[in-house]
Amino acid sequence: MVGSALSSMVSALTDGKKGYEHVQERVNAIELKMLEIRKNLEDLMQEDEQAFNKISSTWKLPKSTDEEKMARKKALQSALRDAIEPPWRIANLASDVMDNALDLLSIGNKNAITDSACSLIFAFSAAEGALLNITINVNLIDDTSFRTEQEKRMKAFYADLVRKRDDGMKILNSSIHTSFL
């Protein structure tokens, strides 16, 4: 959420400024998109908590008989699959924030370029954290083909995140001439 808030702030700092007239439409669109994403992320945090609670409740199911063990296992497997959906949506929204932060690194108020970079980095961290939460649940799913599919999806998604982060850091470095990035 911090990443979207920072991109929203940079958009506001660019809006109506002399020299940025040619990017006003895009900057205004980014600001609206960041407000929408922030609201969606708030909702997803609650969904993620509910999904975890569903997993947790399966651990409390009885397991005295073979039938109970089977029912418990089936409920857990279902809850694990459900639990990866909110983090996937969080990761996708964070990736969207990264896309907009990349735009702002190029078109946003140059006095706030480091805020655009921070937006990019915070969104990267949010997406990376979401992938970690997906991983912990995927690792417990018995269906090996589903697990393999999710692992491939995560690997490709993460590579795209890294590319975006690195592209943004190149833009930042060329703009502020830092040597530590």
What pLDDT does 179 receive? 61
Q: Is the dihedral of CA 169, 170, 172, 177 positive or negative?
A: positive
Span 41-53, average pLDDT: 95
Other beta carbons less than 10 A from residue 42's beta carbon: 10
Would 181 be classed as within a structural domain? no
Whose CA is closest to 98, among 47, 146, 27, 162?
162
Confidence of residue 1 (pLDDT cuts 50, 70, 90): confident
Domain annotation covers residue 134: yes
- Here the CATH number for the domain that contains residue 78 is 1.20.120.680
User: How confident is the model over 59-117, as pLDDT tens digits?
Assistant: 999 999 999 999 999 999 999 999 999 999 999 999 999 999 999 999 999 999 999 99
Torsion-angle region of 108 (φ positive above 0: left; ψ -120 to 50: alpha; else: beta): beta
pLDDT recorded at residue 180: 62
Residue 74 lies in a domain: yes
